[in-house]
Amino acid sequence: MRVLALLIDWFVAMGLAALLFSQTAQNVGTLGLWLVITALSVGFTGHTIGHFILGMQVQTTDGYAPGFFRGVIRSVLVFLIVPGLIMDQDQRGLQDRAVGTLLVKIR
């Protein structure tokens, strides 16, 4: 489910990059848009478009949306890929452990 949500978010960023950037700048534009969209949406609402579609939400351990600072750090760590591949016994990636969040199923 996490990978599918990531792919949905990536395709949204690709579509926006195709509309906003020239052919040569689309790859970097996609990456930048994905990072900005993910950081803002996770920080303020707790989910990206992919998370929302699949019924998931990033929350603090107290059950709230992470906030801007945690959203940015978490998104940068997901961007680095490796932290998302290393999970603990609770299925929390290093990006979630680092900022005190968890990804939960909300429906």
The pLDDT tens digits of the residues spanning 3-34 come to 899 999 999 999 999 999 998 999 999 999 99
What pLDDT score does 81 carry?
Answer: 81
Is residue 34 packed enough to be buried (19+ CB in 10 Å), middle (13-18) or exposed (0-12)?
buried
Residue 24 backbone dihedrals phi, psi, to 5 degrees: -75, -25
C-alpha distance from residue 97 to each of 8, 62, 73, 102, 107 (Å) = 24, 14, 11, 8, 23
The mean pLDDT value for 35-48 works out to 95
Domain boundaries, the chain: 2-105
Query: Quick count: other Cβ atoms within 10 Å of Cβ 89?
Result: 5
The pLDDT tens digits of the residues spanning 52-104 come to 999 999 999 898 999 999 999 999 999 888 777 888 887 788 899 899 999 99
What is the C-alpha to C-alpha distance for residues 17 and 12, in angstroms, rounded to an integer? 9
Question: How much is the pTM?
Answer: 0.86
